[in-house]
Structures are given as C-alpha cells and as structure tokens.
C-alpha cells in the first residue's frame, strides 16, 4: 500500500517520508540568495531637495504643533500632546530655516515667508479670516502671515523670528515687523487704551532705530529687545521687573536705548524667555538685568529686581562664555570648552536634590554623551523654555531636562526629568525653540551631517 502511495505522490512531484509520515512538496522556487539577487532595487529618496526636517512635540491642544488632533477616546494621550517628536509634513513642502515657539503658538520661517500656527487670540500670528470678516482665534495648521510691503520686496529675506507670550517679531533685510498684543508697548508703538487685538491687522514696521540697522531681535514675555549694527541694545514693553533695562520700572511703548554697564559695549547675543535678560558681548563678558528673585543674580543689597544692566563678574572664573539662555527662574551659560553651567531655581539638571543654586554650577559632560568612546562630543548651544531646558551637541544630538509640562521634553514619558536625557530624533539637530509647553526642532535631512 505504501509503495503504491509513494509512486502516486512521486508522480505528482511529492516525496513521502515513511518514518515521519509527512509529505515534502518539491517546488521550483529558487533559493533565498538567488531570489534576493533577482529582486528589483528601489531607492527611496528621503528628502529630494535636502530640505530641513522639522519635528514637534508637547501640547497638541493649542494648535502650536501644526498637526490636527483626533478626539477619539482611545487617543486621549495623543489629544493631550505628543510624548515623542513627530515629523511635520509642512516642512516637506516648505524649506523651514528657523522656528520660534511662543506661549501656545509657533512661527516658522522660510527664506522669504513666515507661517504661524496655534493660539491667535491676540493676532500674534496675524489676521486670518474665516468668513464674513470673522477672524480665526486658533489655527491647527501653519498659515502664511502677510507682512504688508515685504511680500512684494524683490530678494526679500527673513533674518530672524521671535515669539513672546502673545506678540511676535519678524526681522527682515528691510526692517523689523512686530504684531500681536501691544498692551505694554511690546510692539514698539503707542499703547491705545481698550484696543482690541483679536482680529487686528496692525503691523508695526521699524525700518531702523536712530538711523542704525537692526541686526537681531528677542521677544521676552511681554517686552522686546533688539541689537543694532553697532552692538547697542534697545528695548520696549513691560518693565515692572526691570526687564527692559532702561533704568526704571515703567513700561515704554517705543524703543529706547539700554545703558548701565552695557554702555559702550558691543552686544552680540541676548537671551530672554520670561522677565530676566542675559547679554553677551564680543569680549565674551556677561551682563544681566530684570527679575532676580530666583537668584538669577546675587546682589549684596538683596535686590530682587534690577533695572540697570549689571556686569556679572562671576563668569570670569568659569572660562570664555559663548552662549547663554534664560528661563522663568533659571539661567544657563555655555563655555567654549563645551561645559554647561546652570543656576537659579528649578530642575536644573543636577539631580533631584539640587533645585536651587546661586552660583553657576557645571553639569557633568558625561550627561551630554561625552565619554572615552565619544571624547570629541561637546555642547554647542543651550536653550530654555519657561520651566525646561535643552542643549545641542556638535554631533547634532538634543538633550532636554526640567518640568515635563504636556510632554514638552519629548522623551516618551510624562514625568519630570532631573538630568539631561537624549531625545530620539531622525536627524542632526541644527536649532531648537522651547515654548511654554511645546518644542520644535530643525534638523538636517541626513542624520550623518554634523552641527557646526
């Protein structure tokens, strides 16, 4: 019986094993090696124009991430925010050069156009009509911001964007545009009593100040600072904590020059996320002013508000400072050797037992990936949100720490972080902007590219 069955199966190209009682089917399928060899090769182009990639994470409900969200119950965590970086499709069609995170809104700049998304209750991302002249108060996708005459300028270029609590600044090669809330004169124009900012079409254009070109702009919470071509600094807006640096605590609705210890100095860099300012000169000297109630500055008379720029001599001991950043209650400074110093109050990156220090204290380099196998790695820039911090290395790695409000650290979990921790991103980070509860990172198209 088995012999006849074996012959029958063999005729049908099937072998039968009498020991194991199962059949083996003969096929003409080539070996895996030959099969793979003959397969067509498809090359997937990651970024045909080598555009920058943009990743966003944090609070999703304000629209600041520029990604519409689902309201399904099973996606409740996604409704609150993205715990990890999410790549923006908007940047695939627009070559985003820089970004600026405000309080619940975001600005994106290409070479000659600015876009905005998120909260627009005070026209901080421009006027956007729905119908019947009804303005949009919340945008869930980036929309172009019309900058009046600049839109028709030939060879127009966006040099810098900055975002405050509810106002924005766009520096172009023709001058500075300011828009949004002007309740304290932060847009550099006269304060109008009972002015309604919702649906406002007003743009304040400042071509120059005292005949000098504006080279940089930084928005604080409710004030604005600019650097002119000669290195002098001017400010306007809310000054109750001394953050305007004008020698008084009154608000001002036009740009006025900051003097004090910075008089005669050439300022190259300003940092202000809230109401305390750090300034860096071409000689790598550091100056500060504003709200110091959290030990941002230690003064002999115990003052908590400083309205005159003051030289911070303590930095002479830590080496040449190349970058500074300020948050709501803390500060950061970066030296040319790549050491990151922190001071003030908050989750400073020094562990759960150290939440306040009056003295600039270094965060160990090993926490930023420096070790004997990676001894050429060092931090090249520092950044600050209101209650969290970030650092970028020369390898293009991003590290974050601090309060994890609405997952703004991008680390994949919702707990606060006491030490710097690396964020998983699909590219080498070039720049990052920290908002109140969200972040945006601009990356190279290819992860092998390093940040200079």
Strand segments (E) across 354-437: 356-363, 379-384, 388-393, 398-402, 417-422, 429-434
1 domain-assigned: yes
pLDDT of residue 31: 53
Cβ atoms of residues 186 and 122 within 8 Å: no
98 domain-assigned: no
The strand pairing partners of 98, in sequence order, are: 109
pLDDT of residue 44: 42
Q: pLDDT (tens digit, 9 = 90+) per residue, 251-308?
A: 999 999 999 999 999 999 999 999 999 999 999 999 999 999 999 998 878 789 999 9
pLDDT of residue 43: 46
Left if phi > 0, otherwise alpha if psi is -120 to 50, otherwise beta: which for 122?
alpha
Q: What does the alpha-carbon distance between residue 332 and residue 157 come to, in Å, rounded to a whole number?
A: 31
Residue-wise DSSP of 80-133: HEEEEEEE-SHHHHS---EEEE-SSEEEEE-SS-EEEEEE-TTSTT---EEETT
Q: Which segments of the chain have a pLDDT < 70?
A: 1-49, 69-79, 131-133, 446-452
**CB under 8 Å to 61, separation ≥6 — which residues?**
69, 79, 80, 81
- In which element (H, E) is residue 79 found? helix 76-80
pLDDT of residue 67: 87
pLDDT of residue 16: 52
Q: Could you list the residue range(s) of the whole structural domain that residue 1 is in? A: 1-39
pLDDT of residue 17: 54
223 domain-assigned: no
pLDDT of residue 74: 43
pLDDT of residue 447: 46
305-311 and 286-291 as β-strands: parallel, antiparallel, unpaired?
A: antiparallel
**How many domains does the chain divide into?**
1
Identify the CA nearest to 252 among candidates 240, 238, 232.
238
19 domain-assigned: yes
Q: What does the alpha-carbon distance between residue 37 and residue 55 come to, in Å, rounded to a whole number?
A: 37
147 domain-assigned: no
316 domain-assigned: no
């Amino acid at each position: 019986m088995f012999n006849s069955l074996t012959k029958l199966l063999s005729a049908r190209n099937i072998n039968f094993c009498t020991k194991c009682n199962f059949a083996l089917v003969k096929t003409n399928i080539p070996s895996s090696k030959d099969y793979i060899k003959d397969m067509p090769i498809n090359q997937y182009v990651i970024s045909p124009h080598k555009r920058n990639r943009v990743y966003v994470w944090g609070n999703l409900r304000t629209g600041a991430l520029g990604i519409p969200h689902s309201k399904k119950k099973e996606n409740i965590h996604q409704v609150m925010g993205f715990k990890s970086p999410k790549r923006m499709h908007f940047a695939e069609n627009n070559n985003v050069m820089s970004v600026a995170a405000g309080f619940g809104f975001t600005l994106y700049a290409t070479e000659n156009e600015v876009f905005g998304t998120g909260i627009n209750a005070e026209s901080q991302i421009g006027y956007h009509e729905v119908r019947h002249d009804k303005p949009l108060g919340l945008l869930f996708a980036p929309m172009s911001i019309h900058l009046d005459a600049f839109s028709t300028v030939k060879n127009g270029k966006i040099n810098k964007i900055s975002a405050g609590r509810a106002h924005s600044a766009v520096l172009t090669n023709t001058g500075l545009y300011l828009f949004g809330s002007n309740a304290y004169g932060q847009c550099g124009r006269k304060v109008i009593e009972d002015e309604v900012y919702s649906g406002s079409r007003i743009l304040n254009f400042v071509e120059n100040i005292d005949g000098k070109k504006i080279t940089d702009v930084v928005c604080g919470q409710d004030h604005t600072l600019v650097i002119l071509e000669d290195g002098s600094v001017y400010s306007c807006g809310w000054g109750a904590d001394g953050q305007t640096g004008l020698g008084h605590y009154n608000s001002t609705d036009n740009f006025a020059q900051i003097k004090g210890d910075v008089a005669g100095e050439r300022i190259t860099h300003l940092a202000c996320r809230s109401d305390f300012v750090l300034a860096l000169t071409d000689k790598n000297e550091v100056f500060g002013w504003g709200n110091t109630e959290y030990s941002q500055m230690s003064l002999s008379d115990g003052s908590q508000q400083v309205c005159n720029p003051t030289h911070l001599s303590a930095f002479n001991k830590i080496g040449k400072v190349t970058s500074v950043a300020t948050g709501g209650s803390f500060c950061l400074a970066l030296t040319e050797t790549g050491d990151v110093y922190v001071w003030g109050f908050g989750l400073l990156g020094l562990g759960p037992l150290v939440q306040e220090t009056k003295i600039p204290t270094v965060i160990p380099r090993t926490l930023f990936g420096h070790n004997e196998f990676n001894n050429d790695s060092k931090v090249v820039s520092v950044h600050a949100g209101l209650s969290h911090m970030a650092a970028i290395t020369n390898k293009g790695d991003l590290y974050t720490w601090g309060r994890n409000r609405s997952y703004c650290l991008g680390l994949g979990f919702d707990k606060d972080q006491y030490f710097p921790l690396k964020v998983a991103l699909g590219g080498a980070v070039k720049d990052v902007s920290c908002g109140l509860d969200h972040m945006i990172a601009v990356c190279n198209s290819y992860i092998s590219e390093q940040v200079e």
